[in-house]
Amino acid sequence: MFQINQLGTPKIASPLQLSTVKGDNIFNFIKDEDKLIYDLSLENYQQCIADGIAPVWLEKAGPRQFLHFDPKQTKAAIVTCGGLCPGLNNVIRGIVMALHYFYDIKDILGIRYGYEGLNPEAGHEFLKLTPDVVKDIHHHGGTILGSSRGGQSVSTMVDTLVANNINILFTIGGDGTLKGANAIGEEVAKRGANISVVGIPKTIDNDIDIIDKSFGFETSFDIASPIIRDAHNEAAGALNGIAIIKVMGRDSGFIAASATLAMPEVNYVLVPEMDFNLYGETGFLELLKKRLLDKKHAVIVVAEGAGQHLIQKAAEVKDASGNIQHEDIGVFLKDKIKAYFADSLPVTIKYIDPSYIVRSAPANSSDSIFCSSLAYQAVHGAMAGKTQFVVGKVNNKFVYLPIAAVTTKRKKIDLESEFWFAVLQSTGQPFSF
């Protein structure tokens, strides 16, 4: 299920001075036989024993003793695609530093403005990446390479890679980017080209399947937390004050839920995974009314994709990445709340949308560490000749996964999970409304 494609048998000795012996206080090379179990439950273990089958395993990430690519003749490229996310520059920096200092690779190119940069017709010149160029970029949000949405001709992009003698392509992006990377890898395989295609999952929404988390996610709710705190002050400062804070989360509500746990002043959190009604005895507006009559203020956190079933749309519109463009649920809620209480209760409503502030910020300390680790593990896998894989943490261990495995579906909050139960306990909102 999680078998990683390999360009060839690695035969070149790694320049890393690591060990193959345990107990000598030197980190050991990782062997391909070093497998990690995917499902750690006792139930799964017992079922495998009963059925006489091996459990589903994952390939452990890390440096290999033998490489596929000769560092002296290797050329690498890096591309960032999709929306901005904290940590992009950290990953770029980590890749460049690892290639340069671990493997002595000097020829590293930055692809400008996403996959557009692999289309010569777009006219974007490559950016030469060196340690001096990237040494300070982790202090800044965004990406020094620029980004874009939308796909390009796969054939054209592979033509560009071949024409420029690029051996490794590191793609940093979300679901659409990774699907594009997999398509590039498939075209490379058809041509028999010696090019490794690597994915580093990037989505602020944390909705990449299988992996524990994506980089930038922790920074997102870290930044959102003080905004929620200040919004609570706004709400509490007025009679029947209501603060609505909209955060990112097109299909999954992990930012909204995590920010709520981090800042327990939130009274209601609304996420795309839940269906809720506005009206009726158990509807959201009636629950909000009871809250105001009792406490005189309320704080509402809503993910951008929540409540779309309540909004009438003339037609479905998609962005350049193929994502459905949602209506502004924050404005919608503000208008509905205002209308609902117009004749019964005077309310003061503050609507705050910090989305672009959050996604453009530099990574916090935790994400910075995570980004560097992802970059290093991606470089190690690529140098060993692995291709069409992503690097991520599963069960808190760094592993390599086929791109196809993580792009089959989006990860969503399980409303029966302990995580969501914790959110409901924090807000005090009904388990179902």
**DSSP secondary structure of 407-422:** SSSB----TTSHHHHH
Residue 203 counted as an annotated binding residue: yes
Residue 9 counted as an annotated binding residue: no
What residue spans of 68-168 are helical by DSSP H? 88-97, 103, 131-134, 154-163
Residue 286 counted as an annotated binding residue: no
Catalytic positions, written as ranges: 205
Please give the C-alpha separations between residue 329 and each of 214, 237, 332, in angstroms, as whole numbers: 25, 24, 5
Residue 245 counted as an annotated binding residue: no
Residue 19: DSSP 8-state: B
Three-class SS state of 356? helix
Q: At what angle do helices 175-191 and 154-163 cross, to 10 degrees?
A: 60
242-265: burial string, b at 16+ Cβ within 10 Å, e else? bbbbbbbbbbbbbbbbbbbbbbeb
Residue 177 counted as an annotated binding residue: yes
- What is the spatial distance between Cα 374 and Cα 200, in angstroms, rounded to a whole number? 7
Residue 96 counted as an annotated binding residue: no
Residue 357 counted as an annotated binding residue: yes
Residue 149 counted as an annotated binding residue: yes
Residue 348 counted as an annotated binding residue: no
Residue 78 counted as an annotated binding residue: no
Residue 248 counted as an annotated binding residue: yes
Handedness of CA 296, 300, 306, 312 (dihedral sign): positive
- What is the spatial distance between Cα 215 and Cα 85, in angstroms, rounded to a whole number? 8
Binding site per annotation, positions for substrate = 203-205, 248-250, 304, 356-359
Binding site per annotation, positions for Mg(2+) = 175
Binding site per annotation, positions for ATP = 83, 149-150, 174-177
Binding site per annotation, positions = 83, 149-150, 174-177, 203-205, 248-250, 304, 356-359
